[in-house]
Chains A and B, each alone.
Chain A
Amino acid sequence: MDLKEKLVSSFLAFENQVDVDSPIHDVRSEAIKTFEEKGFPSKKEEAWKYTSLNTILKHDYSVFPKQENALEFSDVKKYFIHDIDSYKIVFIDGKYTSHLSQTTHDSMDVCLMSAALAKPKYRLVIENYFNKIATKDSLSSLNTAFSSEGAYIHIPKNKLVEKPIQIIHFATGNESAVMLQPRNLIVVDENSHVQIIERHQSLTDNPVLTNSVTEIYANKRAIVDYYKVQNDNENASLIDNTFINQKQESVASVHTFSFGGKLTRNNLNFFQNGERIDSTLKGVTIIGNKQHVDHNTLVHHIEPNCESHQDYKGIFGDSATGVFNGKVIVNKEAQKTNAFQANNNILISDKASINTKPQLEIFADDVKCSHGCTIGQLDESAMFYMRSRGIPEKEAKALLMYAFSNNVLSSVKIPEIKQRITKIIATKLGVKIGFDL
Chain B
Amino acid sequence: MSKYTEDDLREELKTKEYEYGFYTDIQSDTFPVGLNEDIVRAISKKKEEPEWMTNWRLESYRHWEQMIEPEWANVNYVKPDFQGISYYSAPNSKPKYDSLDEVDPELLETFKKLGISLDEQKKLAGVAMDVVIDSVSVATTFKKTLSEKGIIFCSISEAIRKHPELVKKYIGTVVPQKDNFYAALNSAVFSDGSFCYIPKGVRCPMELSTYFRINQAGTGQFERTLVIADKGSYVSYLEGCTAPSRDENQLHAAVVELIALDDAEIKYSTVQNWYPGNAEGKGGVYNFVTKRGLCETNAKISWTQVETGSAITWKYPSCILKGDNSVGEFYSIAVTNNFQQADTGTKMVHLGKNTKSTIISKGISAGKSQNSYRGLVQIHSRADNARNFSQCDSLLMGNECGAHTFPYIEAKNKTAQIEHEATTSKIGEDQIFYCNQRGIDTEKAIALIVNGFSKEVLNKLPMEFAVEAQKLLEISLEGSVG
The answer to whether B399 has its CB under 8 Å from any CB of chain A is yes
Given A360-B422, A365-B398, A377-B417 contact (CB < 8 Å): yes
Interface residues on A, range: 35 or more
Interface residues of A in 24-38 (CB under 8 A from B): none
Binds B, one of A87-95, A234-242, A368-376: A368-376
B182 to chain A, nearest CB (A): 20
Contact B408 A357 (CB under 8 A): yes
The answer to whether A352 has its CB under 8 Å from any CB of chain B is yes
Which among A335, A359, A368 is the interface contact of B404 at CB below 8 angstroms? Answer: A359
Given A366-B399, A369-B425, A352-B405 contact (CB < 8 Å): no
Contact A357 B422 (CB under 8 A): no
Given A347-B414, A367-B424, A361-B407 contact (CB < 8 Å): no
The answer to whether B410 has its CB under 8 Å from any CB of chain A is yes
Contact A348 B414 (CB under 8 A): yes
The answer to whether B403 has its CB under 8 Å from any CB of chain A is yes
A316 to chain B, nearest CB (A): 9
The answer to whether A85 has its CB under 8 Å from any CB of chain B is no
Contact A370 B414 (CB under 8 A): no
Q: What does the 1/0 interface line of A407-428 toward B look like (CB < 8 Å)?
A: 0000000000000000000000
The answer to whether A63 has its CB under 8 Å from any CB of chain B is no
Contact B426 A355 (CB under 8 A): no
Which among A350, A359, A368, A374 is the interface contact of B414 at CB below 8 angstroms? Answer: A350
A333 to chain B, nearest CB (A): 8
Residues on the B chain within 8 Å of A347, using CB:
411, 413-414, 416
Residues on the B chain within 8 Å of A350, using CB:
381, 413-414
Residues on the B chain within 8 Å of A377, using CB:
414-415, 417
Q: What does the 1/0 interface line of B374-415 toward A look like (CB < 8 Å)?
A: 000001010000000000001011111111111111111111
Given A332-B400, A354-B411, A357-B407, A362-B424 contact (CB < 8 Å): yes
Contact B381 A361 (CB under 8 A): no
CA distance A354 to B397 in the complex (A): 35
Which among A345, A354, A355, A358 is the interface contact of B422 at CB below 8 angstroms? Answer: A358
The answer to whether A122 has its CB under 8 Å from any CB of chain B is no
The answer to whether B53 has its CB under 8 Å from any CB of chain A is no
Contact A374 B413 (CB under 8 A): no
The answer to whether A349 has its CB under 8 Å from any CB of chain B is yes
Contact A357 B416 (CB under 8 A): no
The answer to whether A289 has its CB under 8 Å from any CB of chain B is no
In the complex, the chain B residue whose C-beta lies closest to that of A316 is B414
Which among A50, A372, A375 is the interface contact of B416 at CB below 8 angstroms? Answer: A375
Which among A46, A332, A352 is the interface contact of B399 at CB below 8 angstroms? Answer: A332
The answer to whether B418 has its CB under 8 Å from any CB of chain A is yes
Residues on the A chain within 8 Å of B409, using CB:
354-357, 373, 375
The answer to whether A363 has its CB under 8 Å from any CB of chain B is yes
In the complex, the chain A residue whose C-beta lies closest to that of B390 is A373
Residues on the A chain within 8 Å of B402, using CB:
361-363
Contact A362 B396 (CB under 8 A): yes
In the complex, the chain A residue whose C-beta lies closest to that of B382 is A350
The answer to whether B419 has its CB under 8 Å from any CB of chain A is yes
The answer to whether B77 has its CB under 8 Å from any CB of chain A is no
In the complex, the chain A residue whose C-beta lies closest to that of B412 is A353
Contact B416 A360 (CB under 8 A): no
In the complex, the chain B residue whose C-beta lies closest to that of A350 is B414
Interface residues of A in 316-352 (CB under 8 A from B): 332, 335, 345, 347-352
Residues on the A chain within 8 Å of B414, using CB:
347-350, 352, 377
The answer to whether A56 has its CB under 8 Å from any CB of chain B is no
The answer to whether A126 has its CB under 8 Å from any CB of chain B is no
CA distance A257 to B420 in the complex (A): 24
Residues on the A chain within 8 Å of B99, using CB:
none
A309 to chain B, nearest CB (A): 15
The answer to whether B423 has its CB under 8 Å from any CB of chain A is yes
CA distance A347 to B379 in the complex (A): 12
The answer to whether B72 has its CB under 8 Å from any CB of chain A is yes
Residues on the B chain within 8 Å of A429, using CB:
none
Residues on the B chain within 8 Å of A371, using CB:
405, 420-422
CA distance A120 to B409 in the complex (A): 51
Given A355-B410, A359-B405, A370-B417 contact (CB < 8 Å): no
CA distance A371 to B420 in the complex (A): 8
The answer to whether A364 has its CB under 8 Å from any CB of chain B is yes
A349 to chain B, nearest CB (A): 6
Contact B411 A375 (CB under 8 A): yes
In the complex, the chain A residue whose C-beta lies closest to that of B429 is A366
Q: What does the 1/0 interface line of B343-380 toward A look like (CB < 8 Å)?
A: 00000000000000000000000000000000000010
In the complex, the chain A residue whose C-beta lies closest to that of B393 is A370
Contact A375 B405 (CB under 8 A): no
Residues on the A chain within 8 Å of B417, using CB:
374-377
Residues on the A chain within 8 Å of B412, using CB:
353
CA distance A281 to B411 in the complex (A): 23
Contact A372 B411 (CB under 8 A): no
Which among B408, B419, B420 is the interface contact of A355 at CB below 8 angstroms? Answer: B408
Residues on the A chain within 8 Å of B396, using CB:
362, 364-365, 367
A319 to chain B, nearest CB (A): 11
In the complex, the chain A residue whose C-beta lies closest to that of B400 is A332
- The 6 closest A-B CB pairs, nearest first, are A365-B396, A347-B414, A375-B418, A373-B420, A353-B412, A369-B424
Q: List 20 A-B contacts (CB under 8 A).
A: A46-B72, A50-B410, A332-B399, A347-B411, A353-B411, A353-B412, A356-B408, A359-B405, A359-B407, A360-B394, A360-B424, A365-B399, A367-B426, A369-B425, A370-B422, A372-B422, A374-B417, A374-B418, A376-B418, A377-B414
**Residues in chain B within 8 A of chain A (CB atoms):** 72, 379, 381, 394, 396-426
Q: Contacts A359-B406, A360-B403, A371-B405 given; 17 further ones with Cβ under 8 A?
A: A350-B414, A354-B410, A358-B422, A360-B404, A360-B422, A362-B403, A362-B404, A367-B424, A368-B423, A371-B421, A372-B421, A373-B409, A373-B418, A375-B411, A375-B416, A376-B416, A377-B414
